[in-house]
Amino acid sequence: MFVVHSYPLAVLFCFITMLCWGSWGNTQKLAGKTWRYELFYWDYVIGMVLFAALLGLTMGSFGTEGRPFLTDLAQAEWRGIGSVILGGVIFNASNILLSASVSLAGLSVAFPLGVGLALVLGVIINYIGAPKGDPVILFLGVALIVVAIVCNGIASGRMRQGGESASQNRKGILLAVVAGVLMSFFYRFVAAAMDLENFTSPTPGMLTPYSAIFVFSIGVLLSNLLFNTYAMRRPFVGKPVAYRDYFRGSLATHLVGMLGGAIWCLGTAFSYIAAGKAGAAVSYALGQGAPMIAAVWGVFIWKEFRGADRKTSALLIVMFLFFIAGLGSIVVSGSN
């Protein structure tokens, strides 16, 4: 299987993770023009499972290091598999809430708030579980990103005032907060099942990044039968939808959703692969710089802050600057 041996390459993989995690939401925006997010989410999960299998059979099976994908799956202990599946269940619950938040409050609000909160809590949880890197510089970077999140929240509040828009925005913000808290826990359960110290000759019974992402995606799929079915019957916004509505979607619409799942899966797999060299806390933290990428899409492509006054625009500029400074600090912390 492919193994990362240098810290600069690990950082590059983490930046790809950040791009993927911050960009998959665009597929929901595209499909959302004619497609409810609950229906989109089924395609998203299917795309995740298929792409995880593809990664395992390619990057996870070629080369002489580590264990091939199928061999690794066969030797994995049930305790580790259960831990990764639990991580998938927790992630899925948080991601469904985040998707609902995007539909209510917009991409540039839901992602910085929800994923940003997940970054702050997740870095603490993952550093305690597997300490690696300079903690002072690492948490300085996290603090800078907290400031960026606050700026985004204030800017959002200035844009949406009064009426139904304000009510939907408040609900979207609340969902993003709950999603962020849940999301901060999933990575630790996955990391606990992998031998982060040695992907080249991993401990027997433990998983490699390629088997972990596949088992994780299965956990997401299984939990989706419960979580998303409930969301379809009792949606956060709009009327209930049925399974028959899913099969009325066009091929193009289904493919857009699967593309979203594949993009997210690629980013997550690269984060797991990079964790062996960068450490779980740094790898997770860099990937969770995704809110900045999502905010770029929301502000400049989807025009979610169209008509903003000077103060709101200034807040957005400050948000981007603090995100960049925070990410830079996190990169430096991992090299020490």
**Domain extent listing, the chain:** 24-335
CB 116 within 8 A of CB 294: no
Angle at 289 between CA 283 and CA 294, to 5 degrees: 140
CB 152 within 8 A of CB 109: yes
Question: pTM for the full model?
Answer: 0.84
pLDDT at residue number 267? 94
Helix (H) or strand (E) holding 63: none
Residue 235: closest CA among 98, 38, 28, 29? 38
pLDDT digits (tens, 9 = 90+) for 87-120: 999 999 998 888 788 778 776 677 677 877 887 8
d(CA 57, CA 237): 39
**What is the DSSP code (8-state) at residue 197?**
T
Residues of the chain with pLDDT under 50: 162-164
pLDDT at residue number 163? 46
pLDDT at residue number 82? 97
d(CA 86, CA 70): 21
